Every structure is written in structure tokens, then in C-alpha cells.
Structure 1
Amino acid sequence: MKIFKCPNCASTIFFENSRCVNCGNVLGYDAVSDGFIIPNSYNSYYNNNFKFCDNHKYGICNWLIEDDGNHIFCKACELNRKVPAESDTENFQKWKKLEVAKHRLVYQLLKLNLPLESKIKNNQGIAFDFLSENNSDNMVTGHAGGVITILLSEADSVHREQIRMQMDEPYRTLLGHFRHEMGHYYWGFFFDYSDNIFNFRNLFGDERQDYNQAINHYYCYGAPLNWNLNFISKYATSHPWEDWAETWAHYLHIMDTLETGNAIGISFSSNQTQNQEIHITRCSNPYQTRDFKTIFETSIALTSAVNSLNRSMGLPDIYPFVVPEPVFQKLSFIHNLFNQHLYS
């Protein structure tokens, strides 16, 4: 994630800010210019045609839209199909937490220049349903036909930790959920009617195997022995689609953390990593780096350093994963797909 500047006083602004703490101006994020703007209605000195997304009134969104009478919601909020009512106080507050993660996801998808349309406008697009655990259709967190369902209970950190331990997962976050489920949606974008499917099967396996049988087998018997030699997580072993979604999510983790490292100006020397062949200076901007090996090596340096900092505070590793060579090849494959998409 970038670090932003106030358009009035150039003070540091973070992604969720809606006001500059230095000069006091009200600010909103403009996804088109990828920067913060002072809406005209809050300061007559700035003559522009921007207003806040309608969800700003609930303290949920700080994104701007053109004040042209054609839009109500921003690029992130227009993807919502089902959300809790404001009168449902408990679930409404949980939704607010989930929106923070979803807005970060959408920021990154726009950065990667991926198609992002609302299913409400285009049936081939994306919709988010935020539902309570006791919803009438017994839906669970997941993806189906462009609809991403997120249970509001995921916003409860205690509940999320209980599920993480129950599922024997080293990592479980709101943003991680969004990235994983969005990976399922974009699988069709990259592989339907494409020769890329043959390369996919060489790395991830044949996705034509029965999904429900594979998932049931995983929940009955767990991951195979030595799973960590070929997969990023235990759940990735359950089916090629889940391997793709898990690896996709990790690719997005890598890209976002490196953009943050670049924005902050973090630098390394080779002896700060576990691989003495790595020579890193400053974190490069991953969205401007075509060589995945450079991105990956920088990521190793960054996560090793941050994991060590967490241990100094008695906290778990922020990135509790080891990436074996087969997973590196899968990550590299995903990176090359993006390069094909961006530069074709």
C-alpha cells in the first residue's frame, strides 16, 4: 500500500484517513488518480467535481466519486449486493471492519488493472454478500458464480482465532479471506477459453477432478505427508482450484507488502536474510518490476526482517510460511499471467 500526501500541506496520509491531522482538511481517496483530494464542498478554494461515496455518511468509506448525478457508490462499494441494515447494530459494526479489508483488496485489484464490474450492472461481474452465520440459506464464506459470500462473524477477532486454531491454519485474516475468494473469481478470467489452462494443469493439477469429493476427502483425511514440499498451505492440497486461490492470495500478500516497504523506504543488506546470495538495497516497487525473482527475493528479505521484529515483541510471525521451489514456480506463473494481461 502506498503512503499518500495531503494535497494541501503534503503531510503523510494513510489509506483509511478522511482528514489531515496536520491542516485539518477533509480528504477523500480518488481511485482514478490514486491519490487524496479535498472535495469541493469542504473547501471552496479547491474547484473540483468530486463528492464522497454514499457509504461515507456511515463512516464506512472514504472514497470519492464524480458528482455528475450518475453515481452513488464508489468502485468498491458498488460491488456490495447484501449488507446488514443500520438498525442491526452488532452486524453493522462487523460489516464496517470487513469493508476496510475489502477496500484494500479493491485498491490492489485496480493497481493490477484487473476487470472489476458490479454484478448488479453486469451478470459476469462481482457481488459481495455480507451475511450473518444464521442466514436463511445456510451460506458460508466462499465464492460461487461471481458472488463472494463473507460471514460477518469473520470480523470477530476471537471467533476468527478459534476457527484458525480449529482448522490448524497459521494465518487467517479478513484481507486474506478476500484475496483467496477473489482468486476463485479471477480463475475464470485467466483460464476460460485460454491455452493457459494447459500450463495451469502442469503446475496445479487437473481442476476437472470432482471438487466436492476432493474437499470431503481433505476434511476427512487432511493434507498428505510432506505437503509443505509442494504447497503453500495444507488447504491448498485439497483441490487445484484451492491451490490456485491460496497461491493467488500469497502473490497479492507479497505485492502489497513490498509496495508498503517501497513507500516507507525500507532497505536491506544481504546478511539480513537467510540466503547469503541475495543482495537487496531498497524495496523496489513490485508493480513496476517485471522480474519475479527480484520481487520474490525482496519479499524474503522483508518478511524475514518483519518476522524477527515480531519475535522481539513476543508476537507470532507476520508471515508464517516457507516457500518451496514448486510454490515459487506457481507464484512466478501468476506473475507472468499479470504481465501478459498488462502488456499484451
Structure 2
Amino acid sequence: MIPLSVLDLAFVPQGSTIADALRNALDLARAAERLGYRRYWLAEHHNMVGIASAATSVVIGHVAAGTSRIRVGAGGIMLPNHSPMVVAEQFGTLETLYPGRIDLGLGRAPGTDQRTLRALRRSPETSDQFPQDVLELQAFLGDLTPGQAIQAVPGTGTRVPLWILGSSLFGAQLAAMLGLPYAFASHFAPDALLPALAVYRERFTPSEQMSRPHAMMGVNIVAAETDAQARRLFTSAQQQFTNMFRGTRGLLAAPIDDIETYWSPAEKRQASGMLARSIVGSPETVRRGLAALIAETGADEVMVASAIHDHAARVRSYEILAEVAEGVSRGAAAPVAALAEG
């Protein structure tokens, strides 16, 4: 079957608190571990009242401490916001506490607005240094070299697996050049998915971490007992994306009966375009959609985002997906053994 993983933004639904969101993250991670999901990743965002994972490494530690087998990591750490040495120390500590279970996905975007970027004491120009920062971070996590005066403690020698995240061709080119696994954000940037995967596979250079390309794609999947129930649950995500264009980010909205009463035709076009590769429906609908997506892309792994307001319904969606995915083959996807993960 195609390996499945979870991308959790630790959404704060309307009517709940940040503490609820963090408890729900751990509960979902435990369910994902029980269901056989491979990874559970959290993402860095700042100044967003509806997302509880700003201190991403802290939340990763919270989830890793409450689970025992599933890999836990960042999808991702926005490297321009941080010193590579500090990230190496944080993830070296996590790897020391939870050996063989930590992933470090790296993104180039700030994960916030320009004013918040200044509050983080970072300059917008730091994103231009992303390739150099990745190499510096990789060196801090690698073995100590003769004459090396500065090391990350913990960090040095932990070899935490690095991933490059992307929503354009830039990340695909960098991941290929460095011989790193690549995760494409088709859950919000579907248009560049196929060109990015092609560039990544064509230009991939083997590295110490990985001998062949490994491409993971992020996908919004909402599963329920019927198509109608799933479509209603999906209206939370549709409202969320609509609100992005309105500049009114907030808590994750409860589902509504008719999304057409919520958005304008222009907003519908914009939001639907960003959500174009979402899979929403009953078990059979989700099975067919997942199989078609794997056949089209040859993805090695699928990372599933599910912005569902009700926590029980979100857990149930992942349960349904795990059940139907058992019959979905990876086809031409590369063997998982090709990815060195400590």
C-alpha cells in the first residue's frame, strides 16, 4: 500500500482553545500510530490565532513523548526565521530523546506576514540564504570534522534526516541537487505539482542520506461515511481558504450546509483553485481518488492534511483513509528502503 503520513497544523476550531488543539494533536498522533501512519508532522506558523504549532519543536516533543513508534517531525521549520545552529540544537535534542523517530522538513517561506517577520528579528532577505542555511544545518547535524570549532550540542552526529519542502520548482531543484527527500505542498499549491516532481526526479543526485529520489505530496483528504457528509465537513477548509483572500484569518470554522452562500464567485474560483487536488467523499470515493492520484504522480508517500472542525470526525476521517488505502498500490513509486532515516 502507499505509505501515509499526517500533516497537522494544530488548528484551533471555533468553540475550543489552544490547549484543546494541543491535546487533540497528541490524540490524533496516537490514533495515527495505531492505524499505521508513518509520520506525524507539524508546521511552523506565526501570528495566526487559529494555529497552535508556532513553537514547532516544542509541540513535536509533546507528540513524540506521547507516542512510541511513529516518526514525528516538522513539515516544516521555516529556516529563514532561525539560526541553523539553534535548529540543530533543538532537533539534535529531540533526536537524542526520541532516537530514530525525528524528521526535519525545511521550508523557505517565513510562515507569516512581513510585520511578524520583523518581530521575529529576521529580515525578508534571509530567504535568499536558504540553500546555504540548509548546508550549514546539515553540517551541524553531521559528524564532527577535524578542526571544527563550533558544534551543536546536542546535534552533532545525530544525522536527523532533512527534507526539503516546496510549492514551486525552487525546492524541487534544491532537493535534487542536495540528494534529499522532497515534500510538495499540493494541499495548497496544486498547479506546480507535476512539473516539480518531474524536475526533482530528473535532476536528483544521490547523497549520503539517500540513494534515489523520494517524493511525498501533501493532499487534503476528508473522508466520511457518505459523500454528502464529507462535503459538509470540507466546508470548514473552504471557508478557511476563502478567509485567507479576505484577510480575515481566524479559528477553524464549523461546517455549514451550503458553501455557495458563503463565498462570492471570485472567491470560489480562488479557493477552489488552491484546493483542486483535494479528495473528499465516502470510503469508495476516497479510494478511487487516492488511486488516481498515485497513478498520475507516482508519489512515494502521501502526507494528509484534514482541516476538520470536529475532532472525532477528523480521527474518523484518518481511520477511513487507512482502511481504504490498503488496496492502493504505489505502482511505479520507489522502494521505501531507498530512504535512509537513521
Higher-RCO chain (CA-CA 8 Å, sequence separation at least 6): 2
Same-fold call, TM cutoff 0.5: no
Normalised-by-shorter TM-score class: under 0.3
Choose 1 or 2 for highest CA Rg: 1
